[in-house]
């Protein structure tokens, strides 16, 4: 039986669990870890697999992800690397594809939605003993929805500006350090 062509599929998990063809690019993970950089910029032309590669990285590093997704792929042969890194971290993964609008306000609201939706994936932070009440209140600013609208996030411009830095540095990183849970205050 032939595999399906993944036309328009940019989610690694969906591609691997639904019997689509996949060109194994998983050694990119090893290369990324060996050639470590504080910041990595991935530029490629449109339709070149950037989103799929980011999805693959998220599936590899994120706590709670399914290691079976990598069965039979090249990275699975790197046992020590997989043991050290696979499924050990909270991963912030956003795409700015949907951030647009006819004016600045519309684009900013679209960005609030992207950041708010991603921030909601870390609701365990509200129960984390590593965060004080001030931090929890600050985190809630990222996920609160405007009471006048059931779809718009209420975060201020100031909150939006620092949202990713705060989510990573103030909340997730602090939880990782104090709880010693490979980046988690959530179940693995």
In this structure, how many other beta carbons lie within 10 angstroms of the beta carbon of residue 17? 12
Query: What is the rounded CA–CA span in Å between residue 115 and residue 30?
Result: 28
Q: What is the pLDDT of residues 97-141, one digit of tens each?
A: 889 999 999 999 999 999 999 999 999 999 999 999 999 999 999
What 3-state class would DSSP assign to 35? Answer: coil
For residues 53 and 25, is the Cβ–Cβ distance under 8 A? yes
* Token pair for 133: 């009440």
Residue 14 φ then ψ, to 5°: -65, -40
Residue of 172, 108, 113 whose CA lies nearest to 145 = 113
Measure the CA–CA gap between 56 and 29, rounded to whole angstroms. 9
With cut-offs at 50, 70 and 90, classify the pLDDT of residue 150.
low
Q: What is the DSSP string of 75-121?
A: GGG-HHHHHHHTT-B-------TT---SSHHHHHHHHHHHHHHHHHT
- What confidence tens digit (pLDDT) does each residue in 49-69 have? 888 999 999 999 999 999 999
Rg for the chain, CA atoms, rounded:
18
| 3-class SS shares of the chain: helix, strand, coil, % to 5 | 50, 5, 45
What are the beta bridge partners of residue 62? 89
């Amino acid at each position: 039986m032939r595999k399906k062509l993944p036309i328009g599929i940019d989610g690694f998990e969906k591609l691997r669990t639904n019997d689509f063809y996949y060109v194994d690019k998983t050694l990119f993970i090893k290369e990324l870890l060996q050639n470590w950089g504080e910041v990595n910029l991935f530029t490629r032309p449109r339709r070149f697999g950037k989103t799929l590669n980011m999805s693959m990285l998220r599936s590899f590093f994120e706590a709670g992800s399914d290691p079976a997704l990598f069965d039979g792929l090249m990275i699975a042969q790197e046992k020590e690397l997989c043991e050290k890194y696979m499924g050990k971290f909270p991963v912030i993964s956003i795409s700015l594809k949907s951030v647009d609008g006819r004016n600045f306000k519309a684009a900013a609201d679209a960005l609030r939605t992207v950041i708010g939706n991603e921030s909601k994936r870390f609701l365990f932070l509200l129960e984390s003993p590593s965060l004080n009440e001030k931090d929890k209140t600050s985190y809630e600013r990222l996920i609160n929805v405007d009471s006048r609208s059931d779809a718009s996030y209420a975060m201020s411009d100031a909150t939006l500006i620092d949202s990713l830095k705060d989510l990573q540095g103030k909340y997730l990183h602090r939880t990782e350090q104090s709880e010693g849970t490979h980046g988690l205050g959530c179940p693995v």
